[in-house]
Structure 1
Amino acid sequence: MSVQEFEPRALRDAFGAFATGVTVVTANDAAGRPIGFTANSFTSVSLDPPLLLVCLAKTSRNYATMTGAERFAVNILSETQKDVSNTFARPVEDRFAAVDWRKGPNGCPIFSQVAAWFECSMQDLIDAGDHVVMIGRVTAFENSGLNGLGYARGGYFTPRLAGKAVSAAVGGEIRLGAVLEQQGSVYLLGDETLSIPSCTVEGDDPARTLAAHLEQLTGLTVTIGFLYSVYEDKSDGRQHIVYHALAGDGAPREGRFLRPEDAAAAKFSSTAIADIINRFVLESTIGNFGMYFGDETGGTVRPIAKKDARS
């Protein structure tokens, strides 16, 4: 897409292809009341001196208070804290009543059960279009060792937590599969009859097994996202676990990426695979994905929380 054709929504969706973590940035207003907002535009900057940055939209209700604060904190949310992310991404009046928090060494709100937190003094504010870049100098921090919550292309992903949960929940032989997406196109194998990539479970981390298989198969970088489908196929006696995944740029070694409209017209190796791809085609047009539980003939689709995190 050329510069002349830029559409804000399309550009935002393209930025969303980059998988990130999720944070809640907190501070205190002039009266000492806690404020906070969800942000994914966070990164480390320097070890010496210890600096980090986070971006804040100028339209944020917290803009004046946050940019005027002398100190702020960044809470990196853990895999189980999607509800915290959603709470601080929405216009809820008393957000802090819904979370367990305490004051950090310098008074900023610090959440419990986060993957890590950083308390900072405000080092600099840099104007950046419709955002401002807040650069903080780290004055205190803590690393809990918990895995962080991530998201990409409109959905949260917690691959390790989901993988362990699925491994514990299902019995029998397990087959892993992927709806592997690249800029809206889906990766398929075969010529006249198509299928999604799949492999058997090895070890206790199915997400890692699947990522390694996909990267070897395609030669591309792969990020495993959310669970997309869990079903029992009575025709082969297997449990099938299908993840949504994202592929980096480039042409694959094997197989091909098809646009949704082309994938919808293809012939597939089984009705279960056809249902998965047809659901992906439908959901990708509305930008809202679900998770299927059942068997190869019927089940339920549960909505996946949309990416409410905002910079």
Structure 2
Amino acid sequence: MEVLDVKEIPTHVFQLKHRHDTASKSLALVIPGSPGMGHFYIPFATRLFQLGGGSYDIAIVSHAGHSPGFLRPTTVEHHRQAGDFSGKSVEKPEATNMPNTHDDGGSSLDATQHSATISEDRDWYCLEEQIAHKLAFIEQYASHVDTVYLIGHSIGSWIVLQMMKVIEPSKVKKIVLLFPTIELMGETPKGILLAPLFSSLRLPFTFGVWCLSWIPDAAKRFLLKHHFYTTPDDQVRHMTQGAINIDSKAIHNVLCMAKQEMAEVTLPPLEVIDAHIDKIVFYYGVGDKWNIDSCYSNMCERYPDHEEVHLCKQGYAHAFVETSSNEMAKFVFSKILP
């Protein structure tokens, strides 16, 4: 895991590249769920890379502000004053109506189309800024790539679909959405259960995380290993590494963005899905508490001829990175390089 400047935001990025004489022309880009720390996805990405056998490079881009220790109010203020995020207020993203920058036939990315402001009273990165952040990564570090495979998990699936309003379609070969949360998030069992945590209990919970940060690392590792007791040994190290350094600032970002998700991720971006349905693979979980039961059936009804709307039959959890990274990597590989 390395730290890269993405839109001048220090960001944890995990990359695996084959040793070619020239840079690889294909990239599998993993957009995390939330919390959006790339450490959690390393076993999944590593296995996917191995299965590819040189067909593509891989990158996991952590969410802006979710990397422990990398976001402070002064950092956000710097971006606001520098004009990195334009506008006067944070606009609620439309479900189906966002400018498409490649209508004129151009192929360049314009991340400013998805830039919202850091307001005077907000010190966290919103969903629109997360979209701009991922587009900026492609523009800064993958402009040489001819083929992109976009892999989104949970809210990362929604971010991926929003990115497709900007990315040149011919550049993207496949879009794989794992346990996608792209509609009715506030009405899901988890959304209802955790709503107080995202609002009235956010500050007490954040303070609790700050208190826990003073616990010695050895004690944290002991507690985390017990929490991840069902996680295979080859995965638990990365899960622990990702969680052990979590701080109150990162948790503040995660919870604030989650509150926005509950309010704004209501309708699926059908215009985007309609335009790219031939490239999209949906993978829903049975009993997934971050979806209501009708999400899978509704998608099947909307696209009855589309064979890539899957329902998990193996019982994998929404947080598949805890127990099923290898299995999900095999599924994704079968879809991007059948």
TM-score with structure 2 setting the length: 0.25
Q: Structure 1 or 2: larger helix share?
A: 2
Greater C-alpha Rg = 1
Greater relative contact order: 1 or 2 (C-alpha under 8 angstroms, separation 6 or more)? 2
